[in-house]
Amino acid sequence: MVFPDELERWIRPVLQGRTAHVMKSPDQIMEELGIAPEQAIKLNRNENPFGCSPKVNQALADYVTYNLYPDDAQTEFRELISQYVGTTPDRVVGAAGGSHVLDIIVRLFVDPGDEVINCVPTFGLYEFISDLYGAKIVEVPRDGNFDIDVNAIKAAITEKTKLIFLCNPNNPTGNITQQEDLLAVAETGVPVVVDEAYYEFSRETVVPFIAQYPNMMVARTLSKWAGMAGIRLGYGIFTTSIANYLMGIKLPFGISTPAVIALRASLQDKDYLMKNVKQLIAEGERLYQELTQIDFLRPYPSRTNFMFCVVLRGNANEIVEELKRRGILITFYDTPRLRNGFRISVGRREQNDKVIDVLRDIGASLSK
């Protein structure tokens, strides 16, 4: 549908011309291909293939007062997360997913025309959110190993710079940024977001340094390690003053009652969830080794539950489409910084085996 011209002029200029995301759901894609949804192997969104803790399902079923609003002060949520992280509740702010944590951070710091530094290639949401607030994105390319370029970041800072995004480990490349580099960026005094969405896989964190670098903020999620992507729960760790600001600008009731119930149950079942994380790390290493044996692929080592793979021979898009026809969803990339590649999430053992078999099969039909 074309938006009527006379109405479009009322839309904020930075948003004019935007269209809805037309992302088909995995189930829709499979239905179109005539594949039963439960047969599909979904390795395109870095979800946890083991699901959430069974205790979450039980606790959600047992709760009855869903008719009441949740606690806007996030009292229990902040308490639970602070114990999990090893900090104090007044430094924690929650939202409906790590994405929404990033959104309120940008909302706090960025005015239209301000600059946001983004170390590409990286998670696309940083640019998306910054755009919504009218920021100018300043891209500072990573090097050939996808490491950030600290000197180039420093050189890119102007008086308009309001925020720097650092994804650690980086999505979609999976690599870690050395702690000294993260701290060197924090040393500039510019507000820095360190996105630790995959912390439970990498075990790398700068949370202990927030006291020393109050401009440093950490964003995390329950989507990956706890298998709660569908429940939507994320949080950030800040200084108490930034946390107070964020609590003041977030929308009311941003964390749902089911999300808090699910968090409580997940933390009671942390050992089970961490066993799954360990298994995914081991499977990821196995998948990496197997992919290195496939001569038309170059996988990159990863500290997450996914890895990036460059297609050395053949067309990555065709390979991704062929996998799709066989019921396997992965994510295709072809950007100036990530040519002819794909990102694949680590699945359960039998899912990874299937992927490897299919990739070998595709390889056999590619001309040498």
Please report how close the Cβ of residue 55 comes to ligand PLP at its closest, in angstroms.
Answer: 20
Q: Which of 56, 176, 197, 226 binds ligand PLP (CB under 6 A)?
A: 197
Number of residues lying near ligand PLP (CB under 6 A):
13
Residues in 255-284 at the binding interface with ligand PLP, rule: CB under 6 A: none
CA angle 240, 79, 63 (to 5 degrees): 140
First-to-final CA distance of the chain: 46
* Per-residue mark of binding to ligand PLP, 170-189 (x: CB under 6 A): -x------------------
| Exposed e or buried b per residue across 50-86, where buried means at least 16 C-beta atoms within 10 angstroms of its C-beta | bebbebbeebbeeeeeeeeebeeebebbbebbbeebe
CA geometry: angle 133, 135, 136, nearest 5 deg: 160
Nearest approach in angstroms of CB 37 to ligand PLP is: 21
Instruction: Pick the binder of ligand PLP from 167, 186, 190, 328 (CB under 6 A).
Output: 167
C-alpha 170/C-alpha 176 separation (Å) is 7
- CB of 2 vs ligand PLP, minimal distance in Å: 31
Hey, which residues between 307 and 366 contact ligand PLP (CB under 6 A)? none
Q: Which of 87, 99, 118, 175 binds ligand PLP (CB under 6 A)?
A: 99
Binding of residue 87 to ligand PLP (CB under 6 A): no
- In the bound state with ligand PLP, the residue whose beta carbon lies nearer, of 89 and 94, is 94
Residue 28 structure tokens = 């829709």
State which of residues 103, 114, 115, 195 lies at the interface with ligand PLP (CB under 6 A): 195
Q: Are strands 216-221 and 297-299 parallel, antiparallel or unpaired?
A: unpaired
Provide the mask over 117-146, with x wherever binding to ligand PLP is found by CB under 6 A and - wherever it is not.
Answer: ------x-----------------------
Residue 115's φ and ψ, nearest 5 degrees, are -105, 140
Which among 296, 303, 302 is positioned nearest to 341, based on CA atoms?
Answer: 296
Which residue's structure tokens are 């440093």? Answer: 216
Q: Which stretch binds ligand PLP (CB under 6 A): 62-70, 97-105, 129-137, 289-297?
A: 97-105
Closest contact distance (angstroms) between CB of 367 and ligand PLP is: 35
Q: Are 258 and 66 contacting, i.e. CB atoms less than 8 angstroms apart?
A: yes
Interface residue with ligand PLP among 44, 46, 48, 352 (CB under 6 A) is: 46
Applying CB under 6 A, does 49 fall inside the site for ligand PLP? no
Report in angstroms the alpha-carbon separations of 215 from 85, 186, 188: 19, 7, 9
Range in contact with ligand PLP (rule: CB under 6 A) among 31-39, 61-69, 94-102, 277-285: 94-102
Interacting stretch for ligand PLP, rule CB under 6 A, among 76-84, 92-100, 324-332, 358-366?
Answer: 92-100
Contact 225, 75 (CB under 8 A): no
Select 171 or 351, whichever has its Cβ closest to ligand PLP: 171
- 221 counts as binding ligand PLP under rule CB under 6 A: yes
CA 83 to chain CA centroid, Å, is: 23
Kindly tell me which of 161 and 221 has the beta carbon lying closer to ligand PLP: 221
Q: Which spans of this chain sit near ligand PLP (rule: CB under 6 A)?
A: 46, 97-99, 123, 167, 171, 195, 197, 221, 223, 229, 234
